[in-house]
Amino acid sequence: MQRSTSVFDGSSSSRAALTPLTFDDPDYTSALDFVGHGAFHQFIRCPRTGLRVSFSEAGPRDAPTILFCPPSFCSRYVGGPNVEGWARKMGVRVITIDRPGMGGTERCSIDERLEVSAQHVASVLEYLGIKKVALLSHSAGALYIMHLLANHPMLFGPSPRVYLIAPWIPTSISDQFGLQLVPSWIVGNQHTIRPVGLPLMKGMMSSFAFSSGLFQRENDKMDMSEWVVPERFRNEGEKYQPQPPFHTNLAASSEVGTLIDSCVLSEPLQGISQDYLMCLGRGGPLKEDWYKNIVEDLARGYKDRHEEVMVEVLWAGNDEIIPQKGRKWFDDLMGMAGDVIKYHSAELEGLGHDGPLSKIEVMGA
């Protein structure tokens, strides 16, 4: 892995206050102006790895910050323009970083993938001057968050809040036999096979709607320390059927969706294949004991610092990618980690693996 001691030398967007952007503003000039906004296409040269890194920002720049680690479709577009309207409405700032081999972020070896991504997170947060964040992930993104918490906890401030949506569980543990049978040549070439199935972003335009309930704030205060988990998420293993009290218009025009699809396809997608290979244990560190070791390291570190970390997990009730056995295994593992990890889980009935990130009905739960 190449290292550089130079300062950031990639081009980047200005960090000055931005004019609020919305999908349904009738005065907005064009879909191209929106999707092409500089906030969604920022670059730095990571001084820790020497690699170019691309990332997006959404929402007010002076608001509490969420670092979103997306699933195996590890693109800044899953954040960025997809969540701008929601982030402005909720008063949060969402940072989404292209993982190695995705978008404008240069590739690395699969064995270095977790740590290189962590170094990129450190450099982006440093560049933006962010010292306190909440962490949010879906599926494979949980692997990156757990690695960050265990190995780089000081990046996020004391006692961070962590939200894992359908976190990935190794198939050897969850007994998801179907994925184990997929040939490696197919898994490792998803960046060439999967574009045929686009538009992938359809149904993703409201991908952050559900988390308005996760980041419920008491007395409408903006301070991160005031954010609380809604009561229905506090009981471990509690199930419920989402029944939202309100909805928000997060639907972008078809022109915006089509343009996002085109932008995604015009950029490198190799990161998808590397994430799939890593998740299936065909490269990288994800062996059967990886989670056990990382949770032990995480708990030990927070105990030594006399801090706590709140981890909230939302499972999808009809998730065929993460069967019930894998969910229970993870709940049990986290439950045995000690008092420093304040762990809660809930199950969203009637939803599949990608449901929480595509169903606006989950918002406000």
pLDDT (tens digit, 9 = 90+) per residue, 140-151?
999 999 999 999
| Residue count of the chain | 365
292 or 243, which is more confident: 292
3-state secondary structure at position 165 = strand
**Higher confidence at residue 176 or residue 43?**
43
Q: Which residue has the higher pLDDT, 59 or 10?
A: 59
* E strand spans, the chain: 42-45, 52-58, 65-69, 93-97, 133-138, 161-165, 216-217, 227-228, 238-240, 309-316, 341-348
Residue with tokens 């569980």: 169
Query: Taking Cα atoms as reference points, which of 128, 89, 312 lies closest to residue 208?
Result: 89
Residues contacting 36, CB < 8 A, separation 6+:
none
Taking Cα atoms as reference points, which of 56, 49, 145 lies closest to residue 104? Answer: 56
d(CA 86, CA 94): 10
Q: Report pLDDT digits (tens) over 211-259.
A: 333 333 333 333 333 333 344 444 444 454 444 332 333 344 577 778 8
Q: Is the pTM of this model over 0.85?
A: no
The three-state secondary structure class of 150 is: helix
How high is the mean pLDDT of the chain? 76
pLDDT, position 88: 84
On the question of pLDDT at 32 being above 80, the answer is: yes
Q: Which CATH architecture has domain 31-167+184-317+334-362?
A: 3-Layer(aba) Sandwich (3.40)
Give yes or no for a contact between 360 and 206, defined as CB atoms under 8 angstroms apart: yes
